[in-house]
Amino acid sequence: MGIEIERRFLVVGNEWKDGAIATMYRQGYLYFQEFGVLRLRIAGDKAFLTVKALRDNLSALEYEYEIPIRDAEEMLTGLCDRPPVEKIRHFVTYGGMTWEIDVFLGDNEGLVIAEVELEEPEQPLDLPSWVGKEITADRRYLNASLYRHPYKNWIDD
């Protein structure tokens, strides 16, 4: 069983871009439950099916399996009921940890989120200057939520 523990933040500024390594991501969802999903993801030249089940606001059970990219393309266009979530994921090292900064495209354009995986829930974290408001507990920012209710449709808070 894989457990993913992560914290998520909105990103402010562009200081994170220096030295970032980028990969294009497209993902759709084949199945939804209140606290879990079956996700299809194409990341660069690799593809994955992932089962995710939220445990709480900070952690989720995660099982990920690589699949042929041709199969993933067919499933993304033929089985997913909405356009995919598209983003460019940038990998940035800060404070000895790898941060993933997602710059969303398409229906979620304008949204930039940073996330970092932790080894334990109470792990201390050195926050970079480009990290803004924490959104870990706000499920609207989960990719599955953005798939069903894109950022472009949100009413300003």
For 67-93, what is each residue's pLDDT tens digit? 999 999 999 999 999 999 999 999 999
DSSP 8-state class, residue 25: E
Pick the CATH number of 2-153 from 3.40.50.620, 3.90.1150.10, 2.40.320.10, 1.20.120.610: 2.40.320.10
Contact 90, 100 (CB under 8 A): yes
Query: Which residue type is seen at 22?
Result: A
pLDDT category of residue 58 using cuts at 50, 70 and 90: confident
What pLDDT does 156 receive? 60
**pLDDT for residue 133 is more than 90:** yes
CA distance 111 to 6: 18
Can 31 be counted among the known catalytic residues? no
What single string gives the DSSP state of each residue in 104-135?
Answer: E-GGGTT-EEEEEEESSTT------TTEEEE-
- Entry pTM: 0.93
**pLDDT for residue 157 is more than 60:** no
Instruction: Choose among 51, 48, 62: nearest CA to 5.
Output: 62
Residues 21-33 as b or e (16 or more Cβ within 10 Å = b): eeeebbbbbeeee
pLDDT category of residue 95 using cuts at 50, 70 and 90: very high
DSSP 8-state class, residue 1: -
Choosing from 25, 29, 141, 147, which is the catalytic residue? 29
Query: Which residue type is seen at 64?
Result: E
pLDDT category of residue 49 using cuts at 50, 70 and 90: very high
Contact 26, 84 (CB under 8 A): yes
